[in-house]
Structure 1
Amino acid sequence: MARSRETKIELTAYDDLFQTDESREEAKLSKIRDIPISEIDEFPDHPFKVLMDEDMEQLVESIKRNGVMTPATVRLKEDGRYELISGHRRKKACELAGLETLKCEVKELTRDEAIIVMVESNLQRSVILPSEKAFAYKMRLEAMNRQAGRPSKDNLTPMVSDLDTTRTNEKLGKEVGESREQIRRYIRLTELVPEILQMVDER
């Protein structure tokens, strides 16, 4: 008589089973910590500028008085250092205030997930230059396309994924409140030479 196949049953850990909402919140808070600024790297090709303006001066004074109220967002890199996802102005303000650490929330994110979070968090700013939007939209679309799957060689519009019936630029447009054509126009700005792009930013 043949032996019956063994069935592997996964059981919930005792601690997880009786974990309270309070302990879950504590576990979440443990990911918020003060990290030495010297261990935090800038996000590669970050499209948003950190301006030394009146708002920055006010932020520096606020941090001197009260510290960083809202944690920056970072992810742990393979080399053990951290990559800054959101909070570039807070990091600069901390440096100007003479602080050596930055309060951060550490998130487990892939490269493409980090790009999407970085763009989303920065698009909430009150003033955004056309060039910042252009490069931010381009980075996010490329990340969305990689997540959906690479377009085939027959695809004549590389910004569109074959694996998703909805165009990714249309999907992004709905998320940020822009039309598909407006997204396309912004991305075309990235092809301008820097001098012309600066003229666009200066209206």
Structure 2
Amino acid sequence: MHDLKRKALGSSPLDELGIRDLLIPDSDPVSEPADQGVTSVMIDVTTIKPNPYQPRKHFSAASLEQLSQSIKAQGLLQPIVVRKNSQDEYELIAGERRLRASQMAGMTKIPAVVKQITDQACLAFAIIENIQRQDLNVIELAQSLHSLATKYGMTHSDVGRLVGKSRAAVSNVIRLLQLSSEVKVMLVQGVIDMGHARCLLSLPEKDQASVAQKIVDQQLPVRDAEALVRNIIGGAIKKKNGSFKIDPDPRLSQIVDYIAKQYQGIKLNIRAKESGGGVLHIQYDAEKDIELLLKKIQ
């Protein structure tokens, strides 16, 4: 196993893992031919095992069909990349979308470049390839980065160097795995955005889905969602008859108590809103009572 903590000055994790030459330029994998210096072999598609480290779980059916039609017309000009596993079988490293589309196109053999790389390098390459092509949704990305960190003992800084992200960016993405399964689905489907998801991380997992739904139902912007979560964290929200009752800021309650003692004819009531704002209701017994209060305020 490569120890990413023992690096030569100026070295790159891509070089240490031996995967830099595997990275395919950002081009059309069908219309762009492979590098002339790369030697490929024709492999039976039925003998190719899937990449066990493939972070991408979902492939667009429409996109695969479009690629399949292109392969039928032009052939597959960009080879897939495979390796020999411990059972001497061909195992996919890169190009699962191309492999699937080729099978849909009825191809029995396709060009492949055979490389020998480690499990760690295989996982790293699959993640990097998908990141470069923006093929992973945010939860798939979080799971992939987490796998790199846990399976190979990498720090978040190590992972960041490997995939071209800052340590903070890696940590923030991995934290999304703490979301409940329901909220993860909402995030992937675009029902909530990253700002909403980040503020929900402050809540216990059991409460996240219900609060997320409230954010969606009320179409709360991120700032108001953050205020709602702050109220919950502060112990201000209590469930009553299936709905939320929000207690006002304790400092406002102290002011209300003070005024009630100073001005016997005036009653104040504060109703806090989930957005973080609220309503101040003033009730007075006689006009002279409110006039006295207004003079004091002025």
Determine if the TM-score, normalized by the shorter chain, exceeds 0.5. Answer: yes
Q: Taking CA–CA contacts closer than 8 Å with sequence separation of 6 or more, which of the two structures ends up with the larger relative contact order?
A: 1
Matched residue type, 2:111: K
Q: CA RMSD in A?
A: 2.3
Helix, strand or coil for the counterpart of 1:51? Answer: coil
Residue in 2 that maps onto 1:138: 146
Residues 35 and 104, structure 1, Cα contact 8 Å, conserved in 2: yes
Mark the CA change 1:109 to 1:175 in structure 2 (over 3 Å): closer, same or farther: closer
Q: Identify the range of structure 1 (101-110 vs 182-191) with the bigger mean alpha-carbon deviation.
A: 182-191
Helix, strand or coil for the counterpart of 2:92? Answer: strand
Residue in 2 that maps onto 1:170: 157
Q: String of CA shifts for 1:72-128, please: whole Å, max 9, x gaps.
A: 111101212111111010011011111112321110111111111211122111443
- Which among 120, 125, 130 is matched to residue 122 of structure 1? 130
Residues 42 and 84, structure 1, Cα contact 8 Å, conserved in 2: yes
- Which among 171, 174, 181 is matched to residue 187 of structure 1? 174
- Mapping of residues 82-93 of structure 1, within 5 Å: 82-93=90-101
Any stretches of 5+ residues in structure 2 without a counterpart? Answer: 1-35, 191-298
Any stretches of 5+ residues in structure 1 without a counterpart? Answer: 1-24, 146-158, 161-168
Alpha-carbon offset, residue 40 of structure 1: 0.9
Q: How many residues align?
A: 155
Alpha-carbon offset, residue 140 of structure 1: 2.7
Q: Which has the larger radius of gyration?
A: 2
Alpha-carbon offset, residue 142 of structure 1: 3.7
Alpha-carbon offset, residue 138 of structure 1: 1.8
Residue in 2 that maps onto 1:153: none
Mark the CA change 1:198 to 1:62 in structure 2 (over 3 Å): closer, same or farther: same
Matched residue type, 2:66: Q
Alpha-carbon offset, residue 143 of structure 1: 5.2
Identity of aligned pairs, percent?
A: 29
Alpha-carbon offset, residue 171 of structure 1: 3.5
Q: String of CA shifts for 1:159-193, please: whole Å, max 9, x gaps.
A: 53xxxxxxxx2243245443312211222333445
Give the alignment's TM-score, normalised by structure 1: 0.67
Residue in 2 that maps onto 1:60: 68
Give the alignment's TM-score, normalised by structure 2: 0.47
